[in-house]
Chain A
Amino acid sequence: MLVEAKTLSKTYKIGWFKKRLVRAIEQADISVNKGETVGVVGESGSGKSTLGLLLTGLLKPDGGQIFFNGEDIASLKAGQRAAYRRQAQIIFQHPETAFNPKWKLIRSLAEPYYLHKIPFSEESLFRRLAEVGLYVEHLARYPFQLSGGELQRAAIARVMVLEPEFIVLDEPTSMLDAITQAQIIGLLQEIQKEKGVAYLFISHDLDLAGVFCQRVYRLKEGKLQLT
């Protein structure tokens, strides 16, 4: 078991004057094995994205536990936490907001190297680019000069620099057309075959989740159910 969450809960407080509680995730149990693709489908507002943020450590749960490789991540010390953050990555729905618009692509792609103190070399960056089907010429472009599909590939390349074991894919193809979608899914499958990464695929598309995932959970009003 790579990732396991037990009785996970998250509540948001919303409203300025009158505080109101919204239960985004309620008592959710979910597990992802090494090298597996697990789907989570639900409508907008059902708490899908919250689940992704919780499992990658970008949000703190109000209740429940998350185990990564058998360790409770709440008990991790600062140094171990950084290692976990490196191992659990996320790719978002809107690639255009995932890149700094003022940076050329090369700067965005080089960032994980120094953030995580990985020795930087041009060859290793070019190799990552080639893996996702981008070319060196793309590196000199700004995000607005790339298409949605190209940007999503760049986001995948940036994540793969860290060689994570677990990637949350938060609706990575919902803004893309059918052919680009099939290309991105194909690319993700190839990477999985080669590196053995596990995916949590968040989507509202049941058809797509059915083809891409080994197991699919349905999220409804904060509650998870295996279909």
Chain B
Amino acid sequence: MDPVALQAKNLTVEFPAPEGFIRAVDGVDLAIKNGERMALVGETGSGKSVLLLALLRLLPAGARISGEVWYKGKDLLRSPNGELRRVRGREVAYIPQGTGGALNPVLTVGGQVAEPITVHLGFKKKPALARAISLLDRLGIPEASRRAFEYPHQYSGGMKQRVLVAMGVAAEAQVLLADEPTKGVDWQRREEILNLFRSLKEKTILTVTHDLWFTERFAQKVAVMYAAQIVEVALQEEFFGRPLHPYARALLAALPARGLIPLPGYAPAHASYGEPGCRFSKRCPHVFGRCQEEPPLFEQDGHRVRCWLYAC
């Protein structure tokens, strides 16, 4: 079996804007292995959610995507729509953010979880519903056989996230792409969601998050995104113990438990991405001459980092 489950090569996403095209994702190379749990972290607007959607070509029609996304020997960006529809949900599932309007408010929860089972696995309605109920039960919805007939507004935030995960795994997808599963939820729910994601053993999971607490406990590998580029990829222990990129170090130093030290300045505007030089250089405490050129992604024993400090 191919050890790499999903691989993006030179993936670039651009959106039309009054000034021309804006680059939300810029030349991303990222591979996730079978059974691996990876977290993609970065601040708001760094392009991490767009990257996740681009992997399954779920972006709005105006978006311009280039590069390759390899899954089981196929380039998903060039697959015909019908083939892609069989992959989406059936093999690679997208789990949206739980706090927003990801669930249909006028359909019962059980019906929504049963839908991918009828569509992808060819079940009839009744057995699909039974399967949906057992799935909800397994993911910790109390009294699932009754609550499956309730509507999303009767569910709490943590339970909605459970339902979305249930929909994601309903058609037995092996690769899950989860968008900010812990955004805006409180401490207890966060722990609940962490345990829920940990319970999905043997799945390949790529999650986008800015929650480092969750990342530390959940992920085996961490990728950091800054201004549309991947700036660091490392194993979890490496990232939290010995972060290399100055941005990654600043990110960790900003944690309350590690001193709450803010990084001055702001991420560069999208329009300035075309300018030469490292995109972090304006906020970087270690900036030097070479930062005028754009750094490539260097590799040091499996730890990848986009910074001239590590050029050797």
Closest chain-A Cβ to B118's Cβ sits at a distance in Å of: 35
Closest chain-A Cβ to B217's Cβ sits at a distance in Å of: 14
A-B Cβ contacts below 8 A, count: 62
Point out the residues of chain B lying under 8 angstroms from A69, CB to CB.
Answer: none
Closest chain-A Cβ to B230's Cβ sits at a distance in Å of: 17
Contact pattern, A 182-216, Cβ under 8 Å of B = 1, otherwise 0:
11011000000000000000001111101110000
Closest chain-B Cβ to A226's Cβ sits at a distance in Å of: 19
| Residue with the highest number of chain A CB atoms closer than 10 Å, among B43, B185, B257 | B43
Point out the residues of chain B lying under 8 angstroms from A204, CB to CB.
Answer: 186-187
Contact assessment for B186 and A44 in the assembled complex, using a CB-CB cutoff below 8 Å: yes
A211 partner, pick from B251, B253, B256, B263, beta carbons under 8 A:
B256
Contact assessment for B257 and A207 in the assembled complex, using a CB-CB cutoff below 8 Å: yes
A147-B45, A178-B251 known; A207-B262 Cβ under 8 A: no
Contact assessment for A44 and B189 in the assembled complex, using a CB-CB cutoff below 8 Å: yes
Closest chain-A Cβ to B176's Cβ sits at a distance in Å of: 22
Contact pattern, A 123-165, Cβ under 8 Å of B = 1, otherwise 0:
0000000000000000000000001110000000000000000
B311 beta carbon closer than 8 Å to chain A? no
Contact assessment for A182 and B262 in the assembled complex, using a CB-CB cutoff below 8 Å: yes
A11 beta carbon closer than 8 Å to chain B? no
Point out the residues of chain B lying under 8 angstroms from A147, CB to CB.
Answer: 44-45
Closest chain-B Cβ to A42's Cβ sits at a distance in Å of: 9
- Sample 28 A-B pairs with CB under 8 A, ordered by A number: A43-B187, A43-B188, A44-B157, A44-B189, A147-B44, A147-B45, A175-B183, A176-B44, A177-B42, A178-B210, A178-B212, A178-B255, A179-B43, A179-B250, A179-B263, A180-B44, A182-B254, A182-B262, A183-B264, A185-B260, A185-B262, A186-B260, A204-B186, A206-B187, A207-B255, A211-B256, A211-B260, A212-B260
